[in-house]
Amino acid sequence: MSDTVHLPPGPNPPRLKGRGTATNHGGRYEATTSHAVDDGWGKSPDDDLPPLRTTLSIDTSRTVIAYNRSPDLGFDRAINPYRGCEHGCVYCYARPTHAYLGLSPGLDFESRLFIKPDAPAILRRELANPNYRPRPIALGTNTDPYQPTEQRLAITRSILETLLQHRHPVTITTKSARLLRDLDLLSALAAENLVSVAISLTTLDADLARKLEPRAATPSRRLKALAQLSAAAIPTAVMVAPVIPALTDHELETILESAAAAGVTGAGYILLRLPLEIKQLFQDWLQCHTPDREAHVLNAMRDMHGGRLYVGKFGERMCGSGPRADMLGQRFRLACARLRLNQSRQPLSTDRFRRPAGKQLSLI
């Protein structure tokens, strides 16, 4: 199958303030798609449209712990309190999951969210299963657990409260400084070796970050959050993710140095991933924001995927292959060695787990 990107004819649509994409094409499972066009009658199809607002719907999933067997991941289970993400990161590899819901991986993904308000109760029930065996649960593997709507709903906080109550280990990955609200819970979990936190940084360029990740915290706020977490003795790491060749890859060492100065002890990186609909969304973004870099970025991606924009093969999808990808990995390893990152990483504790009490028969 060709990975050539085919965009609708005509100029790029106007960007919506605070949104990562400007398009809302249907997902790959839809029988028909439609595109707004100028019919020549002197009025743009985007004139007089109201601002795009975020809508919330209830997710009715019966379970909250999702399991995986991927050799690329350092965890085998995760919880995502939200489906869709208001941060609007144009490159987000989770965007195609909205197609399963009959929605667009474009604007729908960042404006039509599905929430799990009963996640703590379902989690408690799953932990109470006699067959359950504790291993670290990852928060933030698909969509950000601290995206803007979390400030009001506090679903992630309730999940952390449940995990703390039952002494269950958890890892967190986020682009938000909003997790500092839960410093009390994180400190309590860290005191029993039950938590580690990673904050991802794509770039230190605030202007570029705002275009790539319009509703995520600024790079400086993320670095300050890392410093506060480190000062509170909470194990922290930085994820340089995604690394975009020919656009942000030159910042790899600088990001690691800035994070090390903030006190982090661990680091990782992930190469830009362009599965399914992301190819078109990202090329649209390049044409709008960095048209002079478009060909260079896409050609570099092909260099790192055997001539294609993306290869979903285990062991390659997150780091690429070939000389250019090997050079990136070598740069990362040398910088980590120089900055003494990833020197020692104590596994999170599982022997403190307290299984929730199951249902008890009522006395008559």
Q: Given the structure tokens 């285990």, which residue do they identify?
A: 314
| pLDDT value at 6 more than 90 | no
Instruction: State the Cα–Cα distance between residues 230 and 166, nearest whole angstrom.
Output: 24
Domain of residue 191, CATH code: 3.20.20.70
Q: Is residue 110 part of a domain?
A: yes
Residues in the chain: 364
Q: Is residue 185 part of a domain?
A: yes
Q: Is residue 240 part of a domain?
A: yes
The strands making up 77-79's β-sheet, listed across from edge to edge, are 66-67, 77-79, 137-139, 170-174, 195-201, 236-243, 266-271
- Whole-number pLDDT of residue 112: 95
Q: What pTM, to 2 d.p., does this model score? A: 0.87
Instruction: State the Cα–Cα distance between residues 200 and 174, nearest whole angstrom.
Output: 6
116 pLDDT tier (thresholds 50, 70, 90): very high
Range of the domain at 81: 55-270
Please check whether residue 157 is in contact with residue 184, taking contact to mean a CB–CB distance below 8 angstroms.
Answer: no
- Whole-number pLDDT of residue 38: 53
Rounded mean pLDDT of the chain? 89
Q: Is residue 83 part of a domain?
A: yes
Please check whether residue 157 is in contact with residue 185, taking contact to mean a CB–CB distance below 8 angstroms.
Answer: yes
166 pLDDT tier (thresholds 50, 70, 90): very high
Q: Is residue 351 part of a domain?
A: no
- Whole-number pLDDT of residue 84: 95
Q: Is residue 329 part of a domain?
A: no
- Whole-number pLDDT of residue 19: 77
115 pLDDT tier (thresholds 50, 70, 90): very high
Q: Which of 24-38, 80-94, 104-118, 313-327 has the lowest mean pLDDT?
A: 24-38
Number of domains observed in the structure of the chain: 1
140 pLDDT tier (thresholds 50, 70, 90): confident
